[in-house]
A and B are shown apart, each in its own frame.
Chain A
Amino acid sequence: MGKKGDQYEVFVEMGRDTNGEMDAKIKKKKKVKKKEMLEGMKKEMEIDDHELTIEELEMKYSTSTTKGMSSTLAAQVLERDGANELKPPKGTPEYVKFARQLAGGLQCLMWVAAVICFIAFGIQFAQEDLTSYDNLYLAITLIAVVVVTGCFGYYQEFKSTNIIASFKNLVPQKATVFRDGQKSQINANQLVVGDLVEIKGGDRVPADVRIITAQGCKVDNSSLTGESEPQSKGPECTHENPLETRNIAFFSTTCLEGIATGIIINTGDRTIIGRIASLASGVGNEKTPIAIEIEHFVDIIAGLAIFFGATFFVVAMVIGYQFLKAMIFFMAIVVAYVPEGLLATVTVCLSLTAKRLAKKNCVVKNLEAVETLGSTSVICSDKTGTLTQNRMTVSHLWFDNHIHSADTTEDQSGQSFDQSSETWRALGRVAGLCNRAVFKPGQEEIPIPKREVIGDASETALLKFTELTIGNVIDYRGRFKKICEVPFNSTNKFQLSIHELEDPLDLRYLLVMKGAPERILERCSTIMIKGQELPLDEQWKEAFQTAYMDLGSLGERVLGFCHIFMNEKEYPRGYNFDTDEMNFPTSGLCFAGLISMIDPPRATVPDAVMKCRTAGIRVIMVTGDHPITAKAIAANVGIISEGSETVEDIATRLRIPVEQVNRGDARACVINGGQLKDMTSDELDDALRAHPEMVFARTSPQQKLIIVESCQRLGSIVAVTGDGVNDSPALKKADIGIAMGIAGSDAAKNAADMILLDDNFASIVTGVEQGRLIFDNLKKSIAYTLTKNIPELTPYLIYITVSVPLPLGCITILFIELATDIFPSVSLAYEKAESDIMHLKPRNPKRDRLVNEALAVYSYFQIGAIQSFAGFTDYFTAMAQEGWLPLLCVGLRSQWENPHNQEVQDSYGQEWTYSQRLYQEYTCYTVFFVSIEICQISDVLIRKTRRLSVFQQGFFRNKVLVTAIVFQLLLGNFLCYCPGMPNIFNFMPIRVQWWFVPVPFGILIFVYDEIRKLGVRRHPGSWWDKELYY
């Protein structure tokens, strides 16, 4: 640990001290292992430049706040630090990625099998002992299967593009810089630490900048911190945390308005966003749960295949077969036992679900993520833009001593408040007039809430609100001609304007004012109640205080509104209003009311959160926003449920100190970034365990990552939703990252596995449902696929040990695996859920495996065994009816397979040439094939359900499955009866009655499985249930 600490120090030094001794430190840095570097980066970033005075800053970076750096020094620094741009990480070469796809467990086995085939073919060819090209065909087919599956996988991987590419787009093109006292425009990538730069409204901040001077400068930090409001920037240091302080502007954020100059303190990869970028690309892609499951059972299957193959290789050698022959047996057993079509089936099933989700606006980038959502047990959701609309909206009004709710839904479908009161007219008038925001032109067609506005967030909210309630505000403002105005500033904290009245006969002037509620109240002497001006006494002041507190506790931003009609005698027409002198009344006004605003939750979110809860999924809010707002939204959408209290709430209610509260009593918990910084990972784990309802506020990107990791440590499968750049490391780290399609930044979209095109959190619920369904259905599909491996394997085992003529050939096996059985196994993906899967808890990734022991045992040793018996019954029937009685078959192999013996006698004394025997063998292959097909039809029917009776599930409800069965039968018939098949693919036109020999076994499978399900349903928890439910 000590060692790690040291290296962490080195890294922190890097961030803090970027001049001098840099070279030495870079060398040191290289030694630091990447993983440990990441550990370091997860800690808070240490920047102290915001706390330095201007002089110290000039010293530190050898620069000047008036003239900028000297060009020569700048060139040196550029040489030392490199260009101001984000470096793309080294990717894996494409051919390595492709090769990896060809080198999985099953793939390797198939390569070995193909090589054995080639060798066998080569030896037979060299010895001129060639009786057929089967081995060559087989080798080619095996290689084709591996390559095609590999290409498929490679294509899937190829689609998830490189993450850093999107960060590149954020780099600004040009920047205004002062060097040698000269102002000039240079390419932003030429900027260095110490450069003095100028930023104007509309620019992107070219690097991390310490602000020196600023005029009305506002920066949109939402992509970095998730704050929905623009942040004012100024020269003063307001917070020790560099992310919170006002005097640092960050690389890639946008300056919305105003102008500022500042000194660059970090460039390129060392900027905050650069670190997030390297954090995101450094975070390893977690293996998806389904990938782990598939790997798990592929390993088992590969192991078993080798075990069987090796065992029978040894047995064959002991019995006295040639080495080559024994190798071919090994190969054949591998081919028979390995489910070649399985990986393709899984991929197709997943892409079907992905398609289904795409129709519901969830686009999946990584196919396996489809299932991950189903296993998700924790959703860490960003607030802004995900749970909320990312749009300040008027939510409450207080007038007539009553809090009224405004409609905050996106489509204005909600209830509006009573607008008949005279007071509302006054309040609405103030809100409409005392407002500088205007709609951008040409948006008449767009619904009001979605229109773009020039102006800050709260003015925008008020503009839209008044437009909705009063109607055409611009026209309304025109009727009240504006005489003069005083814009908002941080010292007086109000904004006022003076208007003429609508009625030309009324010569009074109207003064309207809005601002911080307490400041507005100070200036008022009356209050309007039900249209009457009443004196503002203590009682009303108390009422005001209560309302203000109530609205504030909802996390809403509250503004106060007041007005006064100015006496026409004192202020006649043409009176010269002087806004600097304030030669008009600014006190003794009439208080009209309060309006509060919030970024409201999306309408569909509360319901979706509720559904997640029912489905046993915990929703945690992780946001960069303030704790009070976060908590209010959390309570609003149900992340903190009704009646849940935090430790602080309990303390206030019981009037006891926070320390005395029993932590276990508090279901909810709000932790902010500052607290989180001081917590060890164990403490965080404890907090996550102790409180089911969690909200994290003021978190940095690194902290989001830590929270995700903590959840994963507790064994959860974590989904992260987010839209900002700040979310991208957490999105990448999550088991499934979900990005917003409309609001989401490119970085977030690239880091995510899934994108919600309509930004609708509720789509996640659909995703969860589909994910759970596909897990169940994949289980069925795999069970179906695995079953037939036994009837494919047993012919070889019997062939080797009992020396009967071979009942089933390798090429026929490949036809079952890759042709006839693919469609039915895929069709199981269309099966409806057996029960209400959204009322179950998420699966436990350690306990509820995709392929468990019961599934394998039931498929292999029970259904597979019945199928084997069916196959052998049909095989012996076909042999006996053609003249080879079962007892004669035993031990017949060496004569049967001797190509030089043209007169082998059957049980009736007839003599057969080699070719005649070969066609008889192909007949056996076909008969065995048909038996497996018939049994597999029964198998696919029983796999429709694991617990319910097939009759309860509906026999024909899955139309695709019915089609698949028909298709399977048609394909089987085609293979059997198409002319030319015997010599190409070893299928023979068999007698029709041999199709019916396996039917009783098919019925047995169906009846037996119904009995099994009946037992499982009737006696849950019994021996039968434990052993036979998969």
Chain B
Amino acid sequence: MSSKEDKPVEQSQSSWKDFIYNPRSGEFIGRTARSWALILLFYLIFYGFLAGLFSLTMWVMLQTLDDYTPKYRDRISNPGLVIRPKAPEIIFNRSAPSEYKEYTDHLEAFLSKYNGEHQQNNIDCTPGAYFIQDNQPLPKQVCKFERSLLGQCSGITDQTFGYSEGRPCIIVKMNRIIGLKPKPTPFINCTAKKDDKLSVNYFPENATFDSMYFPYYGKLAHEGYVQPLVAVKLLLNSSDFNKKLSVECKIEGSNLLNNDDRDKFLGRVAFQVKVTE
């Protein structure tokens, strides 16, 4: 019986070897060299043609695109809000500079592009009116946003942005969307979640993103564009220290969405602050 069982195993082994390379017919994995050459040539042509077609269609498609504005903005009809420093939780000891240095450095770096030397070419626009330049030649002009507008949160007077006194500055920024024209002028309103009372100072004081910074004309056309910012100085008291505060800032007073169920960052942003002494 045992010999009977062994035989097929040997056979299958030899047929396996034959499959890899069959010395009698010169077949390598079921095909002769000539056959392999033919089939590879066929696929070379086939895929070459397909790749060519793909490239052609992609090229045609790219030709139809505008260099300055995307064809559609279906998914981004409303802007998201983000904060600086870029962290969901801001936790520091106000008397330990090493703990908040990270945040202040980040703010400083972020605001550096608002420095005067970067905005020499930018112009002063008329507040309260859209700065429409659809028919203007390229590059489009940029409205000046002075860093000093951020007052105590500009980092000019207080280089620790209030972190050392336990009243940190948070800068709220609205995502850039080409052609977006908020109507009427939106402003930022920050509140504490739950029942905590929170008093804040806004810079600029009306907490608005002024209409003159809209619309945006895109990376290429609107080089050097500076986004308007709103700084929020959280006026924390000693009673607020040592506990986690949940703060939510919303964009209000305009047609921009701030209560989407799914997107928690559409027109609003939530973060937590905990300052220890």
Nearest CB in chain B: distance from A101 CB, A: 30
In the complex formed, the residue of B with least CB distance to A1000 is B57
CB pair B75 A916 closer than 8 Å: yes
Cβ-based interface call for B71 (8 A): yes
Cβ-based interface call for A900 (8 A): yes
Contact of A869 among B54, B69, B225 (CB under 8 A): B54
In the complex formed, the residue of A with least CB distance to B67 is A908
Cβ-based interface call for B134 (8 A): no
Give every chain A residue within 8 A of B68 (Cβ-Cβ): 908
Bound Cα distance from A773 to B178, whole angstroms: 60
Nearest CB in chain A: distance from B30 CB, A: 8
CB pair B71 A912 closer than 8 Å: no
Q: Which of B197-216 contact A (CB under 8 A)?
A: 216
Nearest CB in chain B: distance from A579 CB, A: 71
Contact of B65 among A873, A881, A913, A919 (CB under 8 A): A881
CB pair A908 B265 closer than 8 Å: no
Contact of B218 among A861, A873, A909 (CB under 8 A): A909
CB pair A1027 B74 closer than 8 Å: no
In the complex formed, the residue of B with least CB distance to A881 is B71
CB pair A913 B80 closer than 8 Å: yes
B interface footprint on A788-816 (CB within 8 Å = 1, 0 otherwise): 00000000000000000000000000000
CB pair B70 A883 closer than 8 Å: yes
B interface footprint on A872-913 (CB within 8 Å = 1, 0 otherwise): 110011001111011000000000000010110111111111
CB pair B73 A882 closer than 8 Å: yes
CB pair B80 A865 closer than 8 Å: no
Give every chain B residue within 8 A of A883 (Cβ-Cβ): 70, 72-73, 76
Bound Cα distance from A881 to B220, whole angstroms: 16
Bound Cα distance from A865 to B220, whole angstroms: 37
Bound Cα distance from A910 to B216, whole angstroms: 9
Bound Cα distance from A900 to B89, whole angstroms: 12
B interface footprint on A900-934 (CB within 8 Å = 1, 0 otherwise): 10110111111111111101100100000000000
CB pair B76 A912 closer than 8 Å: yes
CB pair B70 A919 closer than 8 Å: no
Give every chain A residue within 8 A of B70 (Cβ-Cβ): 881-883, 906-908, 910
A interface footprint on B152-192 (CB within 8 Å = 1, 0 otherwise): 00000000000000000000010111100000000000000
Cβ-based interface call for B262 (8 A): yes
Bound Cα distance from A903 to B82, whole angstroms: 7
CB pair B69 A902 closer than 8 Å: no
Bound Cα distance from A436 to B15, whole angstroms: 73
Nearest CB in chain B: distance from A1004 CB, A: 7
| A-B pairs under 8 A by CB, number | 123
Nearest CB in chain A: distance from B143 CB, A: 16
In the complex formed, the residue of A with least CB distance to B87 is A900
Bound Cα distance from A917 to B75, whole angstroms: 8
Cβ-based interface call for A1023 (8 A): yes
Bound Cα distance from A625 to B79, whole angstroms: 91
Give every chain B residue within 8 A of A141 (Cβ-Cβ): none
Bound Cα distance from A903 to B42, whole angstroms: 47
A interface footprint on B241-277 (CB within 8 Å = 1, 0 otherwise): 0000000000000000000101111100100000000
CB pair B178 A920 closer than 8 Å: no
Bound Cα distance from A920 to B177, whole angstroms: 15
CB pair B57 A861 closer than 8 Å: no
Bound Cα distance from A877 to B63, whole angstroms: 11
Nearest CB in chain B: distance from A352 CB, A: 35
Bound Cα distance from A194 to B264, whole angstroms: 92
Contact of A915 among B42, B71, B82, B262 (CB under 8 A): B262
CB pair B74 A882 closer than 8 Å: yes
CB pair B62 A915 closer than 8 Å: no
Give every chain A residue within 8 A of B47 (Cβ-Cβ): 865
Cβ-based interface call for B16 (8 A): no
CB pair A913 B72 closer than 8 Å: no
Given known A-B contacts A915-B262, A916-B80, A910 and B175 have beta carbons under 8 A apart: yes
Bound Cα distance from A923 to B175, whole angstroms: 21
Bound Cα distance from A916 to B77, whole angstroms: 10
In the complex formed, the residue of B with least CB distance to A904 is B175
CB pair A873 B75 closer than 8 Å: no
Given known A-B contacts A880-B65, A882-B74, A883-B73, A912 and B178 have beta carbons under 8 A apart: no
Nearest CB in chain A: distance from B38 CB, A: 7
Nearest CB in chain A: distance from B145 CB, A: 16
Cβ-based interface call for B43 (8 A): yes
Bound Cα distance from A228 to B38, whole angstroms: 65
B interface footprint on A842-873 (CB within 8 Å = 1, 0 otherwise): 00000000000000000001100110010011
Bound Cα distance from A785 to B70, whole angstroms: 37
B interface footprint on A528-539 (CB within 8 Å = 1, 0 otherwise): 000000000000
Contact of B175 among A876, A900, A903, A1004 (CB under 8 A): A903
Count residues of chain B with CB under 8 A from any CB of chain A.
46
Bound Cα distance from A872 to B265, whole angstroms: 30
Give every chain A residue within 8 A of B33 (Cβ-Cβ): none
Give every chain A residue within 8 A of B225 (Cβ-Cβ): 909
Given known A-B contacts A903-B82, A913-B263, A1027-B42, A919 and B75 have beta carbons under 8 A apart: yes
Give every chain B residue within 8 A of A906 (Cβ-Cβ): 70
Give every chain B residue within 8 A of A991 (Cβ-Cβ): 72, 74
A interface footprint on B28-68 (CB within 8 Å = 1, 0 otherwise): 00000000001100110011001001100110011001001
CB pair A915 B50 closer than 8 Å: no
Cβ-based interface call for B219 (8 A): yes
CB pair B53 A880 closer than 8 Å: no
Cβ-based interface call for B128 (8 A): no
Cβ-based interface call for B88 (8 A): yes
Contact of A865 among B50, B88, B219, B269 (CB under 8 A): B50
Contact of A882 among B38, B61, B75, B81 (CB under 8 A): B75
CB pair B58 A873 closer than 8 Å: yes
CB pair B220 A908 closer than 8 Å: yes
Give every chain B residue within 8 A of A862 (Cβ-Cβ): 46
CB pair B265 A913 closer than 8 Å: yes
Bound Cα distance from A920 to B263, whole angstroms: 13
Contact of A873 among B39, B46, B54, B175 (CB under 8 A): B54
A interface footprint on B125-151 (CB within 8 Å = 1, 0 otherwise): 000000000000000000000000000
Contact of A911 among B57, B58, B74, B177 (CB under 8 A): B177
Bound Cα distance from A909 to B81, whole angstroms: 15
Bound Cα distance from A902 to B76, whole angstroms: 12
Most B CB within 10 A of own CB, among A906, A913, A923: A913
In the complex formed, the residue of B with least CB distance to A1023 is B38
Nearest CB in chain A: distance from B271 CB, A: 11
CB pair A923 B42 closer than 8 Å: no
In the complex formed, the residue of A with least CB distance to B263 is A915
Given known A-B contacts A902-B82, A915-B262, A923-B75, A908 and B62 have beta carbons under 8 A apart: no
Cβ-based interface call for A983 (8 A): yes
Give every chain A residue within 8 A of B79 (Cβ-Cβ): 911
CB pair A912 B175 closer than 8 Å: yes
CB pair B73 A902 closer than 8 Å: no
Nearest CB in chain B: distance from A38 CB, A: 18
Nearest CB in chain A: distance from B18 CB, A: 17
CB pair B50 A920 closer than 8 Å: no
B interface footprint on A315-349 (CB within 8 Å = 1, 0 otherwise): 00000000000000000000000000000000000
CB pair B80 A983 closer than 8 Å: no
CB pair B176 A881 closer than 8 Å: no
Give every chain A residue within 8 A of B80 (Cβ-Cβ): 902-903, 911-913, 916
CB pair A902 B175 closer than 8 Å: yes
| 19 CB < 8 A contacts A-B | A872-B54, A873-B58, A877-B61, A882-B75, A883-B72, A886-B58, A903-B175, A905-B219, A907-B219, A908-B178, A908-B218, A908-B220, A909-B222, A910-B70, A911-B79, A913-B80, A916-B80, A916-B266, A920-B75
19 further A-B pairs in the complex, CB-CB below 8 A; given A908-B220, A910-B70: A862-B46, A873-B58, A880-B65, A882-B73, A882-B74, A906-B70, A908-B178, A908-B219, A909-B176, A910-B177, A911-B82, A911-B176, A915-B266, A916-B76, A917-B75, A923-B74, A1000-B57, A1001-B53, A1027-B39
Nearest 7 CB-CB pairings of A with B:
A909-B219, A913-B80, A915-B263, A911-B175, A883-B70, A881-B71, A913-B265
